[in-house]
Structures are given as C-alpha cells and as structure tokens.
Structure 1
Amino acid sequence: MSRVNDVGGQSGFGPLEIEADEPPFHADWEARVYALNTALVRSGVYTLDEFRDAVERMAPAAYLSASYYERWLHAIETLVAERKVLGDG
C-alpha cells in the first residue's frame, strides 16, 4: 500500500529545492522537537522505525501541509499517546 510520502517516480511536485547555507533549524521549537525525539528514542519509548512509521501514517492532507518538523512533532505526539507515556489523561 502506497502512502502519501511515497512519491518516488511521481511527477508534478516541482524541482527539489536544496537550501544552501541554511541553519539546521529555522526556529527554536524545531531544535526542541529534534532533542525530544532523540531523548525518546534513546530512552526506548519508541524506535526510529516506529517514528518513521508514525510520520508516514499521517493523513495525506496533514502530511502535505506540514513542515518537516511539524511532521516530527505529529509523530512524537502520536507515539507518546499510543504508549500512554503521559498517562490516560
């Protein structure tokens, strides 16, 4: 089953824009999302494969309208909720 992120070989998405001389993060919150994901993976809450799958499970419209780190945040929120890391409520 193909997911929205699987665009290999498809056309119509325009050229790939490579950001030259850009910082790794465009906003402080992006760095925090990166650090949070690293901490959760290292602590064994989930694996990188599970994280990638959570990104790929996003609804197509949400995936296409989200930035890179917005997708990361969605995956973290999804996995933390699924594993009840913060409790039931």
Structure 2
Amino acid sequence: MNSIHDVGGMHGMGPVAIDPDESVFKADWERQVFSTIGLYFAGGLCPIDEFRHAIEVMDPAEYLSTSYYVHWYHAMETLAINNGLLTKAEIDAKVRELQGAQ
C-alpha cells in the first residue's frame, strides 16, 4: 500500500525529533486506549493486520492532524463496531454522556 499512512519509510522527510524524557502517555485516556487494544489482541478480537487496516482507513487529513493514540482510538472504535461489540449509536450515546458529565 502506498498512502499517507506509509510516510515512515520515505526519504527526505527530515529527522525524527526524539525527546528521551518524553512520557509514553501524555494523558490517562492514552493509557486506557493502549490497554484496551491489548485486550483486543489478547482476546483474539483482531489480528494485527485488522488493527493496522482500521488505522489506514482514517481520512488522510484526520490522520495527519491527530496524535498516535487518536489513531489507536479510531482503530479501537472501528474494530468494536465491525466485530459487533458496540454500535455507533452506543458509542455516540456514551460520548454525549461523558461530555455532559464535564
């Protein structure tokens, strides 16, 4: 595949800035997404190829404008819907509930 998601192997993109003191997770929700995807794998809910594909179907503009764990969240939500764990309506209802709690 040759898409926006494959820029990692391209030349001329400049060096990757690495901060050795940067934390793995910038927020608690990132840790929760990481853990949930781990449960998906451990529970056999998706092979790694499905996980990668769920990220690759993101809109390129959204992919480029969002962080690493937003990509994982998108995959988690897509896989939950595709595998019948949750519906889009259930996810949307929960988001509205959580937004109302703030």
Aligned length: 88
Q: Percent identity?
A: 43
TM-score, structure 1 normalization: 0.86
* CA root-mean-square deviation: 1.7
Gaps of at least 5 residues in structure 2 are 90-102
Instruction: Give the structure 2 partner of residue 18 of structure 1.
Output: 18
Aligned equivalent of 1:9 = 10
What is the distance in 2 between the residues matched to 1:70 and 1:84?
Answer: 21
Distance in 1 separating the partners of 2:88 and 2:53? 23
Q: Mark the runs of 5 or more structure 1 residues left unpaired by the alignment.
A: none
Q: Mark the structure with the bigger radius of gyration.
A: 2
6 and 36 in structure 1: CA distance in 2 versus 1, 3 angstrom threshold: same
Letter in 2 for 1:54: A
Structure with the larger helix share = 2
Question: 2-side partners of 1:5 and 1:88: how far apart?
Answer: 24
